[in-house]
Structure 1
Amino acid sequence: MKLKHIIAIVPFVLFSCNNGNLLNDEGSGESISNSPNFELQNKKSQEIIKQIDEKQHTLKTKLKKTKGKNADNLYLEYSKLLNSLIKELETNEYNSLSIYNKWENEIAPDSIQKKMELYDKLQIKIIENNDGSYNLKYRPGFYYDMFKYKASKDLREYLKLATLQRKKPIVVDGLINEDWSEISNRLIIWENFIKNNPNSAYKEDAKGKYLELIQLYLFGNKNERSYSIDTKKIEPLTEQEYMNFVKKYGKTTTGIITKNFLDFFYTNDKNFSSEEFHKKITEYTNQEIEKEMKKF
């Protein structure tokens, strides 16, 4: 199907904006929703964009007058609200997002370029997922840059770690983009955050990020496994990383889980068929992860 035909059937949001009126990174300038030139064909998207713009402006105004726990409360309130609005916008923009990659190597139509400019001003990015689909999210560091001089130490640390996770993702296009040692470094960082902040409002989210990383560390993913299912052999470089890590961090939660994984692996690799062994070690390791994480 030719590009012009695709454009004809998709109800794109059209933006006609004066860039001088768009909200800038510091929150100064006239609000998007107050711009006389702000028009969208998709009325639902128009309303959502207005709400995002207004909520951002309100948050930045309130943040100027507060700090510490009060700033933390603003983060909890507005991050939930803004993220919900972005998710709603993403759902409403499904048609245009679903064929966004059609313009990666071609000049995008004016309507799409205007949309990208507006997203940029609101610091919203189109993120490609491993399956080729697209989502809308705030740029990495959006909340950290806003709250780093206002929030409590707890929130500052959490946002800094979450920003690193997004700016330097371990998995890119389904492939593990870093050495296995970088995964273990991230695990120790998240483990320390969880243990040092037992009453953190962000603890459960941090535990979710830790769980995702520990499973990646021990199993890899479908494109790059830590061990061969067929031969029941751990990849040599990965095996060396495990041994170095256990030697250095054996008393940590991550070290204990890794050691138990290795012990089970070496004890049982000859006792089962390839598929049975893969099933057994997966079940055992996930049980160990769950058990150790309950101690957090």
Structure 2
Amino acid sequence: MRKFFIVITSVILLSSCKQTENKNIPQKKETKKDSTKVEDSSQTAQVSSDLLEQFSKNKNEVILKLKSISAEEANTLYEKYFEENSALLQQIAGKESGILDKFYNEDEADKKAVKLLGEKLSKHKLQFWEIGEGYVEIEPLHDFYYTIFKDYVTGDYKDYLHLKSEENKTLYSADAGLVISFKDLGDRVISWENFMTKYPDSKLIASVKEEYKNYQMDYLVGQDNTPTAERATDENYIYPENIQEFNRFMKKYPKSPTVPLINLFMENFKSESIFDLLRAEQDKL
């Protein structure tokens, strides 16, 4: 009986020791969790690749379709394709947000990930587009739409896409300030004035006019971090470089409808209602 008791006690002690040892052994749960993270990252990368493949597939289908439709139908196809692409690019950017958020990081692993993504985008005629304040988007190459549609759409759409392709070569503004020069902006204003004069009945006129007015206002008043006048002190004045640019513009393009707006601004820039005055004059155009 005593021997039996000793055996039972030994078994209990041995079992207790094993349980204690098991508690001290690192659990496999954490490893499983890390594996899940890797798996999620892999799935995200795959979804992103699938979306990029869809982007190129859609492009090829559009190119094929353009060969058998009229110019007016090609115009409509462009508008539809542009909208669909914009939505698809948002999805791609969402899937790649982890890398886009680290675009400016100095960590070698992050720099490598950005480089690899850039190479992947390049294969699909896409690129990183830095928009300021640490934000980066994914956009088609500057002449993406022009290259696809130029030989199939009507004249107004072709000229429109060409103008946009030229503008998309560089960033327009960032961090509440213009990136291009005021001279370049003045030339943009003229380009769109010429477009509207050439194609007064174009379906694009409404959207073009809206963007044109924004360009005009930026040219006249500037943006928060690139104003055309000093209005924060008692000695308000237009910056000499902007006066010089205004004079250049008026001399080179005396018949431009922007000239009366320049004169209006130069005469009333000190007024608190200058924006309202300019917008009222724009509405007459």
TM-score range, shorter chain: 0.7 to 0.9
What SS class does the counterpart of residue 168 from structure 2 fall into? helix
The answer to whether 1:87 aligns with 2:90 is yes
Map of 1:282 onto structure 2: 275
Per-residue deviation at 1:215? 1.7
User: Contact 2:102 / 2:110 at 8 angstroms: preserved in 1?
Assistant: no
AA aligned opposite 2:237: K
CA distance change for structure 1 residues 224 and 111 in 2, over 3 Å: closer, same or farther? closer
Matching residue within 28, 39, 57 for 1:54: 57
For the 8 Å contact 1:13–1:111, the answer to whether it is kept is no
After superposition, residues 31-50 of structure 1 pair within 5 angstroms as 40-42=43-45, 44-50=47-53
Q: CA deviation at 1:206?
A: 1.8
| CA 10–236 in structure 1, closer or farther in 2 if over 3 Å, else same | farther
Q: Which residue of structure 1 lines up, in the alignment, with residue 229 of structure 2?
A: 227
- For 2:79 and 2:212, locate their aligned partners in 1 and report how far apart those are by CA, in whole Å: 21
TM-score, length-scaled by structure 2: 0.75
SS in 2 for 1:140: coil
Calculate percent identity across the aligned residue pairs.
Answer: 23
| TM-score scaled by length of structure 1 | 0.73
Alignment of 1:168-179 (within 5 A): 168-171=170-173, 176-179=178-181
Letter in 2 for 1:284: L
Provide closer, same or farther for how the CA distance between residues 124 and 203 of structure 1 changes in structure 2, counting only shifts above 3 A: same
Cα displacement (A) at 1:66: 4.1
1:138 equivalent to 2:131? Answer no
The partner residue of 2:246 within 242, 259, 263 is 242
Q: Distance in 2 between matches of 1:160 and 1:263?
A: 36
- In the TM superposition, residue 45 of structure 1 has moved relative to its aligned partner by 2.8
Which residue does the alignment assign to 2:9? none
Does the 8 Å contact 1:71/1:150 carry over to 2? Answer: yes
Higher CA-based Rg: 2
TM-fit CA distance, 1:126: 1.4
Q: Is the 8 A contact 2:228 2:242 kept in 1?
A: yes
2:258 corresponding residue in structure 1: 254
| Residue matched to 2:3 | none
Give the deviation of 1:11 after TM superposition.
9.1
Task: Output the amino acid matched with 1:148.
Answer: K
Aligned counterparts of 2:108 and 2:175: Cα–Cα separation in 1: 21
Letter in 2 for 1:181: K
Q: Report which of the two has the higher share of helix.
A: 2
Give, in whole Å, the separation in 2 of the partners of 1:72 and 1:162.
15
Paired residue secondary structure (2:105):
helix
Per the alignment, residue 193 of structure 2 pairs with 191
Q: How many residues align?
A: 248
* CA gap 1:109/1:166 in 2 versus in 1, 3 angstroms: closer
Q: Which amino acid aligns with 1:280?
A: S
Structure 1 gap segments, 5+ residues each = 1-8, 15-39, 270-276
Hey, what does 1:21 align to over in structure 2?
none
Cα distance in 1, alignment partners of residues 182 and 97 from structure 2: 35
Q: What's the Cα RMSD here?
A: 2.9
